[in-house]
Structure 1
Amino acid sequence: MSTYSMPITFLSVYAEATKAEIIISLCFFLSFLFSAFVLPRIIIISKRKALYDDPDARKSHIGAIPRLGGLVFIPSILISLSFSTAIRFLLDFPANDKLTGYTLLELLLLAAGSLFLYFVGVKDDLIGVRYRKKFIAQFLVASLFPMSGLYINNLYGMFGIYEVPAMIGIPFTIVMIVFITNAVNLIDGIDGLAAGGALVCFITFGTLYLLREEWIYSMLAFAVVGCLLPFMYYNIFGSVERGTKLFMGDSGSLSLGYLLSFFAVKYTMFVPNEGMDIRCAIIPLSLLFVPVFDALRVMVVRVYHKHPVFLADRNHIHHKCLAAGFTHLQSTVMLVSYTVVTLFVNLGLGELVDLNIILIINILLAVLINHLLDVRIKHKEDAKAISFSNSTGL
């Protein structure tokens, strides 16, 4: 390469990176603006049609609150991504052949699956859907990933397993997609938790794909970030009295869970010519550990006590935080911060120890945190009982 061609090549790469940042920023802002514009109107429609999530013994809120905030998620994402991609093609940036073949197939099937699951969630928010039908829908859309060539084909040494054959990896992937989707749905029990956890995940994946120069996946991730931010404002800081509070409902939580499972499988999938990188397993594991471990723990506890696995209760981690005396916002900040700290600690441990040791450490720490919450809840209940006894003279 000549002396003159080197600066020209550098400028060309820099120009492409700058275009990438502009297009990704455009995608983010379009999604943000659409979400910010539509959400107040969803609140108005919910009030006029009395579409509320009424409180009951299992739920953590007081007062009737609209639960249709998730209606804005998929439209915001698809509109901003489609328009930004069209602009990208018009600018001929970067090589358009990257949007052909398996990448295009992945995105088309992801869009189809997201829309189908989105409408199932909308129906559930409006009139209810039996959990069996929701599971059937989830397995159907989960099967679209392997059709595009996406499946977990390597465990990077977890449980001593590396390469996973397709006949095992494909059904395993489908089950994991359904499990992750439901785990995110189940963690949506207090203000800002599901959205805040998802926000951390999508910012991380968006940044990672930006660094990899796989612009379309970064655009998709930041489109989700854009639509989440306005929703989080209404969800966390909205007032029940003023009628500005909003829940995402199943249309939102199922959509987020499905999109997160896509990024988790996509990032985990081993590509031979890119080499073995344990971070491809550590990052999805760390980002999704809180909802996945919590869902698995709750299922094990229900089986142990011989309760129906799908029977709703108040044994989730966010319910324990509330019972321990923390507010919605404090619980959300703690659990989201825990995810961020877990990510960086696990990445540091990945340079020193085996993936199985990292997994064991994470599980033991999560068990310890749940135990400490149980102890705090017990102390609080004992103090309340003593106070009641003193006040009644018993």
Structure 2
Amino acid sequence: MLNNSLYIIFAFCLAAGLGAMIMPKILFISQKKKLFDLPNSRKVHDTPIPRLGGLSFFPEIIITCGFIVGLRFLLGLSIDSAGPQEATMCKYLMLIVGMTILYLIGICDDLVGLSYKPKFLAQLIAASFLAASGTWLNTLNGLFGIYDIPAYVGMPITIFLVIYITNAINLIDGIDGLASGLCCIALGILTIINVYHQQYYFALLGASTFGVIVPFWVYNVFGNAKHGHKIFMGDTGSLTLGLVLGFLAINMSQNMTGRPNDVNHTMIIVFSTLIVPVFDVVRVVFRRVINKKNPFLPDKNHFHHKLLRTGMRARWVMITILLFSGFFIIINTLMTKNININIIVVIDIAVWVLFHCIVTHFGNKHKREKEAKEKAATMS
């Protein structure tokens, strides 16, 4: 196990090193060719910023995973992993096919712009490949009173969930460091869980993806836009990360061990890593439907937009949401051993609603104070 864990750490370092080398090159090309994300009324930034940071994610993940697996085979050290390796390779290959499709559609969107229809179709195809490979949800382990799920039900649910998670990551990518930070937290936890369950091939994928994001996060959060050092991941990056997270989350939620308690605990922890983006999409889409708006069109009603309306700076909004995500992971992990999974979900929803009520209150208070100051300034 220690030997495999060292290779997982090496994969993280290799991916991070590749990202650190390639990201400046992407910045240079973006500046040279003027490939910018232009500011508008819906966006937080006010200067043109390159949006091709995600261009490097998919190739770096493939290079890292392929090199580590190939190196071990050349050395006669095949990765010891629970479960048949043929099934694992099938899942990997179908994931690569799906990632390639989303990578190409993401590049098109970042360069020339696409409507939501071709992007949705690409996500549907990619998610279908994952389900066909054997990565489909076969148990809810008592959630809503449901245990075993047959394939004809589990596979469509899986396709829906993968598309849902992919879009959740894409939609929450609204301020510096938020989507990539949430993905780092989720990928870190999922990598650890996979190592614990001796699913080293999937831990390798998680560690490689985690490593790819770290240098991007540094440029995205700390880069100076005026000096041309800031970059966005764009749809190419968010779609890639969303698909990988969906794949790892569904795979870890499958009942492969025959030990229901392990599956129960794992499902709760995996679910916890994705609570913020997943819950945010539900609230935003529900609000759009209530207001009779197209649920696929963007607006400024996401979680980070609400926090910005309280007067918080973007950096602190990012930190607050990352801490909130960490809070859910820690609390749910502590509750999982003694509390029923349905009760945990109810508690999570209650905490989420309460926090939004508090944020809404302070948002409205800040708005009233701002209007009062503007009125006083006008009168004077």
Q: Could you say which TM-score interval applies, normalised by the shorter chain?
A: over 0.9
Correspondences of 1:144-155 after superposition (within 5 Å): 144-155=129-140
Q: Is the 2:69–2:79 Cα contact (8 Å) retained in structure 1?
A: no
**For the residues of structure 2 that align with 1:153 and 1:356, how far apart are their CA atoms?**
18
Which residue pairs with 2:315 in the alignment? 329
Question: Which of the pair has more CA radius of gyration?
Answer: 1
Matched, 1:59 2:43: yes
Which residue identity is paired with 2:114? V
Q: Secondary structure at the match of 1:101?
A: helix
1:393 equivalent in structure 2: 379
Q: Could you tell me which amino acid in structure 2 is paired with residue 269 of structure 1?
A: Q
Which residue identity lines up with residue 133 of structure 1 in the other structure?
Answer: P
Cα gap change, 1:177 to 1:95, in 2 (>3 Å): closer
Residue in 2 that maps onto 1:379: 365
1:362 equivalent in structure 2:
348
Quick check: 1:81 aligned with 2:65? yes
Alignment of 1:309-320 (within 5 A): 309-320=295-306
Matched AA of 2:280: D
Rounded to whole Å, the distance in 1 between the matches of 2:261 and 2:331 is: 20
Q: Deviations over 1:190-219 (max 9, x none)?
A: 000110000011111111111222221111
1:180 partner amino acid = I
- Does residue 243 (structure 1) correspond to residue 228 (structure 2)? The answer is yes
Q: Does 1:129 align with 2:114?
A: yes
Q: Does 2:44 correspond to 1:47?
A: no
Distance in 2, matches of 1:391 and 1:166, equals: 65
- Match of 2:225, SS state, is coil
Q: Quote the offset at 1:280 in angstroms.
A: 2.2
Q: Distance in 1 between matches of 2:272 and 2:258?
A: 25
Q: Secondary structure at the match of 1:271?
A: coil
Q: State the shift of 1:352 in Å.
A: 2.1
The secondary structure found in structure 2 opposite 1:60 is coil
CA drift at 1:133:
0.7
Give the conservation status (yes or no) of the 8 Å contact 1:203–1:225: yes
- Alpha-carbon distance in structure 2 between the residues aligned to 1:111 and 1:298: 31
Shift of 1:389: 1.5
Question: Does 2:171 match 1:186?
Answer: yes
Identify the residue that residue 240 of structure 2 maps to in structure 1: 255
Which amino acid in structure 1 is aligned with residue 35 of structure 2? L
TM-score (norm 2): 0.96
What is the CA–CA distance in structure 1 between the aligned matches of 2:198 and 2:216, rounded to whole Å? 29
**Aligned: 1:204 with 2:189:** yes
1:20 CA drift (Å)? 1.2
Q: Is the 8 A contact 2:65 2:208 kept in 1?
A: yes
C-alpha separation in 2, matches of 1:190 and 1:38 = 22
Q: Which residue of 2 aligns with 1:101?
A: 86
Asked if 1:118 corresponds to 2:98, the answer is no
Deviations 1:137-158 (A, max 9, x none): 1000000112111111111111
Give the residue type in structure 1 aligned to 2:237.
G
Supply the distance in 2 between the matched residues of 1:346 and 1:211 (Cα, whole angstroms).
18
Tell me the CA shift for residue 273 of structure 1: 2.8
Q: TM-score of the superposition, structure 1-length normalised?
A: 0.93
Greater Cα offset, 232-241 or 330-339? 330-339
Task: Report the Cα distance in structure 2 between the residues aligned to 1:243 and 1:118, rounded to whole angstroms.
Answer: 24
Q: Are 1:340 and 2:303 matched, yes or no?
A: no
Q: What amino acid is the match of 1:90? A: L
Counterpart mapping for 1:254-273 below 5 A: 254-271=239-256, 273=258
Letter in 1 for 2:286: V
Q: What is the CA-CA distance between 1:92 and the residue it aligns to?
A: 2.3
- 1:23–1:88 CA contact under 8 A, matched in 2: no
The amino acid that maps onto 2:304 is H
Describe how 1:262-301 pairs up with structure 2 within 5 A. 262-271=247-256, 273-277=258-262, 278-301=264-287
Cα distance per residue 1:156-211 (max 9 Å; x no partner): 11111111111111111101110110000001000001100000111111111112
Partner of 1:72: 56
Q: How many angstroms apart in 1 are the aligned matches of 2:173 and 2:56?
A: 17
What amino acid does structure 1 have at the position aligned with 2:303?
I
SS at match of 1:132: helix
Moved over 6 A (4+): 96-99
Q: How many Å separate the matches in 1 of 2:328 and 2:122?
A: 32
What is the identity, as a one-letter code, of the residue corresponding to 1:199? Answer: C
Query: Hey, what's the Cα distance between the residues in 2 that align with 1:84 and 1:132?
Result: 37
Q: Quickly say closer, same or farther: Cα 1:95–1:136, change in 2 above 3 A.
A: closer
Aligned to 1:6: none
**Is the aligned partner of 1:19 residue 2:13?**
no
Cα offset, 1:108, TM superposition: 0.6
Check conservation: 1:270, 1:276, Cα contact below 8 A: no
CA root-mean-square deviation? 1.5
In structure 2, C-alpha distance between the alignment counterparts of 1:377 and 1:184, rounded to whole Å: 24
Share of identical aligned residues, percent? 36
Superposition map of 1:226-237 within 5 A: 226-237=211-222
Aligned 8 A contact 2:136 2:250 in 1: yes
Over 3 Å counting, the alpha-carbon distance change for 1:95 and 1:62 in structure 2 is closer
Q: Does the 8 Å contact 1:205/1:218 carry over to 2?
A: yes
Aligned residues: 378
Q: 2:144 aligns with which of 159, 165, 171?
A: 159
SS of aligned partner of 1:143: helix
Query: Matches of 2:170 and 2:352 in 1, distance apart?
Result: 20
Comparing 45-54 with 156-165, greater Cα deviation is found at 156-165
Residues 235-293 of structure 1: CA deviation (Å, up to 9, x unaligned): 00001111100000000001000000001100111125344431122012101110011
